[in-house]
Structure 1
Amino acid sequence: MSSVEAVIKSIQGLSASSRDLSALHDVLKVANESLRADSDLQLSTLDQLDPSKHSLGYLYLLDVLTCGPVPNEVVLLIARFINACDAVQIRLASEKFVSLCKRFKDKVLELRDPLRGVAPLLKAVHKVQVSTKRLTALHPDCLQLCLLAKCYKAGFSVLSDDILEVDQPRDFYLYCYYGGMICIGLKRFQKALELLYNVVTAPMHIVNAIALEAYKKYILVTLIHSGQFSVNLPKCASSAAKTHFKTWCTPYIDVGMCYNDGKISELEAVVVANSSDFEKDKNLGLVKQAVSSLYKRNILRLTQKYLTLSLQDIANMVQLPNAKEAEMHVLQMIQDGQIHALINQKDGMVRFLEDPEQYKTSEMIEIMDSAIQRKIRLSKNLLDMDESLSCDPLYLGKVGRERQRYDFGDDFDTVPQKFAM
């Protein structure tokens, strides 16, 4: 009996119970190197196994068969395996499963068909994820495919969970960066800002490329969503970010400063002067959205001063080319719920109205309840994490060592004479 036949028999006989699976895992780990050198192992060998019943063994063999260049025909085979495999079994060898899924992602990108990988990677994330709080190594890959395939809604579904546990910082950076771009695609700017903020303020000793690109988008999304830019980073940002972001993101900071002044002509001049940089960064479309949002901000300011205005007056005041352009902006703002107004088509007059929302409809109550429930869940998760840390021997040992290192006794709060004012 060849080594491949022996492994197949082991897989078929030891895939029924958790004890058998543990024994099978030991067999597969021992046989892994010999399988790589065995010419008897072919794709047709997998026909002897059921990917849903023999998931662990199937994973090991498929991993060996795809360790080199991945043939085109294997793409469908991997997709079917991801869909059919048993989550409990593949989690026993989660690193191999993640590696296989990453090869699958690379192959669909090589084929220039990211859409083909979206559904399998969505399924893979849920199968390898032990808890919805935990970020997996597949989250960024899944979001990247959703972004490239323009499946923004599918990508947004991955972002619905509150991530509290992270193994690799780079995975977290990419998760938030790709997630922020997906939210931009859906015009969910508040969520995009939250995700990009996580990257910009993450601890870092040196500025990485992901954080730098995130900061450029963070500036533009801040302008679109909040209408105000601050050159000073949040206090929680690292010193490396505070030092280098300003140097490497000058065109974006210039856009933000001109936006604050509210002068369209100066802002457009800055955009034209730096258009090659924005285009190279693939941010020109987002920059144009920021410029457009300044027109809307200026119109919004008019609603706080006037009850009625003509469309031509609005065009003049916010530096739009003509009344027709002003009408398009006002209509879009009404549709988006940014302002409440009525346009008289006959005389071209706009009447600004009060917000009719009384915050007592069933839809609004559901929105408020959903927000409250999310805050409650986050609070509970933080309390659980705090309790877990307070019982962790490694954490307590480290804290104890730090206390000994900095323990100055009962007079710790007393100011020494040489520092007294």
Structure 2
Amino acid sequence: MAPPVDVDTVIGTLLSITSISDLRGHDVCQQLETLNDQQLTSNGCQPLQVLTPSQHSLGYLYFITAACRKADETAAQELYFMLVQFIHGADIDQLKLAGKQMNRISLALEHLAEVQGNPMLVLAPLRTLIERLTDADEPVLTPFHSVLAKHALLSKMYKYPLPILNNYIIEVDPKMYGTSIQDYLEYHYYGAVVFIGNKLFAKAFDFLLLVIAAPQQKAFSAIQLESYKRFILVSLILFGSLKTLPKYVPHVIEKLCRKRHPAYFQLLQAFQDDNMNSLNRTLQTQQQTFSNDGLFGLAKQLKNALYRKRIQNLANVYCKIYLKDVVKSISHRAHPIAAPAAEIMILDMIHKQELRAQLSTVMMNNTPLKLLTFQDSQDAKRDTPKDHATLYARLLATMSANTRLSAMDKSEGLDKGFQTKVQTK
């Protein structure tokens, strides 16, 4: 840590620097950190009135965020607009010099949003900041990704972060942004929950797998266990079965989750047994557990998924089958499904290419009947070659990201403090 300096000295240094190369050669960041959010110069002047946001972005970052984090309800709105203008006009190269201190921006935005009672205020500035900091072709994880996803959930704006989430992270550079494995886990966990809220289960599956597969020196974290619970439900909805974890993922996470959260494995067993009675019974008896986890709505979707699985299994038996017979085949006496609901389900499955079939109307004894014709019973299975190719591509992306994460994790493991903590356990 640099020795303490006063505001006048720091302001003088900032005003004297005319190029980014000169700024890199000074220890301005260390000097700013020693100010402890001190705001006034010796003559009582506000630094924000002296510095120009676009020319002195590094210094302006510290002073505007310090003011925002102290703001009360009276000053919050004006400072929010100042911070937003700064985000839009700041010199990105200077901001990157702040490294992990860039996190001050998200802390400032969160405080202003809390003071004004509006979590949505965080969203637009953070999305702008991420777009300015990263290349859409090679997105890099920043400290703002996880905060954006989290506040999208808090404000129930599930579609807002999709343009960011749809750009899969392929670079993790802790030196540039001070990001950690925790940032990586939180971003993909919150992102998966956003995708689930949008019913984009394939993308949610990808993000959950990235969280579960992230290497760690420590035991599996709580966020990974939470992700595995969702992984079970999403996998059943998406594939009709629980996908086996890749070989490079320690399978102890499944054993740990089974021990701590047995309700999800009761659901899994009922689904695998094709037992709608058992599935409903588990949903009823474990409703409080699923509700406490915020997953009761998602768990209930397994009933619909089980009907869809039964329809797909019909493709292995029939070439053609009347809709009324489909209803009889997939219904249970205690849990019947109406013909209109079954028809809508079939049409949706055909639209989503989950089922290679055609639903048409034929006449029998002057009575119109719906006839389901399967085009290719083998292709009607969920696990098509295309599914395997897609899953393989996803696993390759996961492994690529994990290579970078392993380097981060190894550096943490070599830390003396971490080693001491592990040895004392």
Q: Normalised by the size of structure 2, how large is the TM-score?
A: 0.74
Match for residue 328 of structure 1? 344
1:178 aligns with 2:190: yes
In 2 relative to 1, CA 27–140 (structure 1 residues): closer, same or farther, beyond 3 Å?
closer
Decide whether the 8 Å contact of 2:87 with 2:125 is kept in 1.
Answer: yes
Decide whether the 8 Å contact of 1:312 with 1:326 is kept in 2.
Answer: no
Decide whether the 8 Å contact of 1:308 with 1:349 is kept in 2.
Answer: no
Match for residue 58 of structure 1? 60
In 2, Cα distance between equivalents of 1:233 and 1:344:
43
Letter in 1 for 2:31: V
Please list, as runs of the form range in 1=range in 2, the aligned pairs for 1:21-420 lying within 5 A after superposition.
Answer: 21-22=23-24, 25-27=26-28, 29-30=30-31, 33-34=34-35, 36-37=37-38, 39-40=40-41, 45-68=47-70, 71-73=75-77, 74-109=79-114, 111-129=116-134, 132=138, 134-159=140-165, 160-165=167-172, 167=174, 168-204=180-216, 205-229=218-242, 234-238=246-250, 240-319=252-331, 320-339=336-355, 340-344=357-361, 347-354=368-375
Cα offset, 1:234, TM superposition: 4.5
In 1, Cα distance between equivalents of 2:185 and 2:397:
21
In 1, Cα distance between equivalents of 2:115 and 2:300:
31
Cα offset, 1:227, TM superposition: 0.4
Decide whether the 8 Å contact of 1:278 with 1:287 is kept in 2.
Answer: yes
Decide whether the 8 Å contact of 2:233 with 2:298 is kept in 1.
Answer: yes
Letter in 2 for 1:141: V
Letter in 2 for 1:215: Y
Decide whether the 8 Å contact of 2:146 with 2:183 is kept in 1.
Answer: yes
Task: Tell me the alpha carbon deviations over residues 242-269 of structure 1, each in whole angstroms, 9 at most, x when there is no partner.
Answer: 4411111211111111111112222111
Q: CA RMSD in A?
A: 3.8
Cα offset, 1:184, TM superposition: 1.7
Decide whether the 8 Å contact of 1:177 with 1:210 is kept in 2.
Answer: yes
In 1, Cα distance between equivalents of 2:397 and 2:286:
42
Identity percentage over the alignment?
A: 26
Which structure exhibits the higher relative contact order, with contacts defined as CA atoms closer than 8 Å and separated by 6 or more residues?
2
Decide whether the 8 Å contact of 1:102 with 1:141 is kept in 2.
Answer: no
Say which one has the larger Rg: 1
Task: Tell me the alpha carbon deviations over residues 125-156 of structure 1, each in whole angstroms, 9 at most, x when there is no partner.
Answer: 24445893532222211221233344444423
Letter in 2 for 1:313: D
In 2 relative to 1, CA 105–38 (structure 1 residues): closer, same or farther, beyond 3 Å?
closer
**Structure 2 gap ranges (5+):** 1-5, 175-179, 380-385, 415-425
Decide whether the 8 Å contact of 1:53 with 1:86 is kept in 2.
Answer: yes
In 2 relative to 1, CA 109–63 (structure 1 residues): closer, same or farther, beyond 3 Å?
closer
Decide whether the 8 Å contact of 1:101 with 1:124 is kept in 2.
Answer: no
Find runs of 4+ consecutive structure 1 residues off by over 6 angstroms. none
Letter in 1 for 2:53: P
Cα offset, 1:37, TM superposition: 4.1
Between 221-230 and 211-220, the greater mean CA deviation after superposition: 221-230
